[in-house]
Amino acid sequence: MKKSPPWQYDEFRQVGVDYEDPLEVEAYDERHAQFRDVDAECARILDTLGVTTQSVVIELGTGTGAFAMHAARRCGHVYAVDVSDRMLEAVRNKANKAVLQNITTCHAGFLTYEHAGPFADALVTSMAFHHLPDFWKGMALARMNGMLKPGGLLYIHDVLFAQADAEANITRWIDTLGDIGGQQLRDEVATHIREEFSTFDWIMDGLLERADFSILSKDMVEGVVGTYLCQKN
């Protein structure tokens, strides 16, 4: 891995939820299944990207690798990147179990991953980009742009806030998730808002455009979750 300058943001330091905690990793899939249909999400992303068996896909912030597994069944090669070694261990276990040999796991992050494979057809990041403060999101987007083929696609799904009624939207969201997943999920979401770096959607619009992406589509749900499909210019 290239040596980073001393002023670079330390993306390996866990902020908010600790994804190096083995208990967190073990509980992750079950906890998220309470409020997400992850299989449907993954299928939708791959359909939207129009992948083929030749496609090269990079996933940044892969977590336990649900998307990477789905992608590996439909694509040529998948690079699953995460700053948490524990998460990557879970990905490797799943890949071994499913006998999927076209997944490369990489212990790195948005700011440190050096893509050595062929230029990617698509880059996906789901529920992970909020781990970087905004300046560093901008730096990371420029790096992502450099990993893609001309016309390559970027899919971002994350917690993002609409400016209008932000406080009311967040309160309602925490209540909804609390009703589904109890106090633990309520606390996790509160930690996210308090300590992680989810930003306004209009900031994300600007960051994407300045990193030389065109926004092909954007969807905001309940003012708290955003999905972008972008294309490298």
Ligand X SMILES: C[S@@+](CC[C@H](N)C(=O)[O-])C[C@H]1O[C@@H](n2cnc3c(N)ncnc32)[C@H](O)[C@@H]1O
Query: Is 126 near ligand X (CB under 6 A)?
Result: yes
Q: How many C-beta neighbours within 10 Å does residue 133 have?
A: 13
Contact assessment for residue 152 and residue 214, using Cβ atoms and an 8 Å cutoff: no
Nearer to ligand X, 55 or 84 (CB): 84
Query: Is 105 near ligand X (CB under 6 A)?
Result: no
Sole window of 58-66, 69-77, 168-176, 205-213 interacting with ligand X (rule: CB under 6 A): 58-66
- Count residues binding ligand X (CB under 6 A): 19
Question: How far apart (Å, rounded) are the C-alpha atoms in residues 22 and 212?
Answer: 38
Kindly tell me which residue out of 89, 100, 107, 127 binds ligand X, with binding defined by CB under 6 A.
127
Q: Over the range 32-68, which residues count as b (16 or more CB within 10 Å of their CB) and which as e?
A: beeeeebeebbeebbebbebeeebbbbbbbbbbbbbb
Query: Is 56 near ligand X (CB under 6 A)?
Result: no
Q: What is the largest CA-CA distance in the chain?
A: 47
Nearer to ligand X, 114 or 168 (CB): 114
In whole angstroms, the minimum distance from the beta carbon of 142 to ligand X comes to: 15
β-pairing verdict for 213-221 and 225-232: antiparallel
Sole window of 90-98, 128-136, 165-173, 183-191 interacting with ligand X (rule: CB under 6 A): 128-136
Which residues are bridge partners to 215 per DSSP? 230
Contact assessment for residue 154 and residue 230, using Cβ atoms and an 8 Å cutoff: yes
Query: Is 198 near ligand X (CB under 6 A)?
Result: no
Nearer to ligand X, 26 or 165 (CB): 26
Nearer to ligand X, 117 or 151 (CB): 117
- Torsion, Cα 14 92 46 35, to 10 degrees, reads -50
In whole angstroms, the minimum distance from the beta carbon of 129 to ligand X comes to: 8
Query: Is 144 near ligand X (CB under 6 A)?
Result: no
CB within 8 A of 87, min separation 6: which ones?
19, 25, 28, 62, 63, 64, 65
Kindly tell me which residue out of 46, 49, 56, 62 binds ligand X, with binding defined by CB under 6 A.
62
Query: Is 82 near ligand X (CB under 6 A)?
Result: yes
Contact assessment for residue 25 and residue 87, using Cβ atoms and an 8 Å cutoff: yes
Kindly tell me which residue out of 56, 63, 78, 228 binds ligand X, with binding defined by CB under 6 A.
63
Residues of this chain that interact with ligand X (CB under 6 A) are 11, 19, 32, 60-63, 81-84, 87, 109-110, 126-128, 131-132
